[in-house]
Chains A and B, each alone.
Chain A
């Protein structure tokens, strides 16, 4: 496996982690009603979307490498 392919796999797993973290933060907010958790969850979801966009762009731009 090339570094390019491994990087794409890593980004995909990172996206799963951001979704998991967002779910965890949502659960904590549900229990403790602390807005910090809500902010963390939304931030994590945003990071996940950012990673998806980055991954698609990386795949397109490095196809020839």
Chain B
């Protein structure tokens, strides 16, 4: 069966169906994280006192560097495909996967340090919203890693069958990944610095 508009542009939307789909999905994600950020603002404004310096800024900063680097490797994985360089694409996609894993390892150390001190989400309003926001963001990182693992593994076969469709799929993965990175760009200053 031939699915239309996987590669070619659909005349009425001006986009391939996959791109429209990923942007609709990202719009729903904006609403999800937007609601949680709004909750954070309301809780913080309503609190008599708000804790400062509870989180490790160096760990948060390292994770920011990791995610910015992963956005670079992700876009390079897509650009390599557009230049027909399969080997470089593989290298960059695997690098993105490894960087995502490093982010989660850092997060594990951060979480376990808090939990060892009895500072779970039940400890304070700040830690409740911290664990909720970063936990949801971490789940999105895991989701991205699953998609990347698929394209590194069994999904890579599509490149030989339909190179343009495969490149489009990597572009959509990249759009999702950039959104996840963008959420962190807001989370880091809001939770760690302000």
Bin the interface of chain B by size. 20 to 34
Report how many A-B pairs have Cβ atoms within 8 Å: 47
What is the minimal beta-carbon distance from A9 to any residue of chain B, in angstroms? 8
Q: Size of chain A's interface in residues, with CB distance under 8 A?
A: 21
Q: Which residues of B contact A4 (CB under 8 A)?
A: 75, 79
> How many Å lie between the Cα of A4 and that of B82 in the bound state?
12
A20 near B189 with CB under 8 A, answer: yes
> How many Å lie between the Cα of A2 and that of B168 in the bound state?
10
B61 near A3 with CB under 8 A, answer: no
A10 near B178 with CB under 8 A, answer: yes
Given contacts A10-B71, A17-B188, 15 further A-B contacts (CB under 8 A): A3-B174, A3-B178, A4-B79, A6-B175, A7-B75, A7-B178, A13-B182, A14-B68, A14-B185, A20-B189, A21-B189, A21-B193, A40-B61, A51-B68, A65-B82
A sample of 15 cross-chain residue pairs with beta-carbon separation below 8 angstroms, ordered by A number, consists of A2-B171, A6-B178, A7-B178, A10-B71, A10-B178, A10-B182, A11-B71, A13-B182, A14-B68, A24-B193, A47-B65, A51-B68, A54-B72, A65-B79, A65-B82
Which A residues fall within an 8 A CB radius of B?
A: 1-4, 6-7, 10-11, 13-14, 17, 20-21, 24, 40, 47, 51, 54, 58, 62, 65
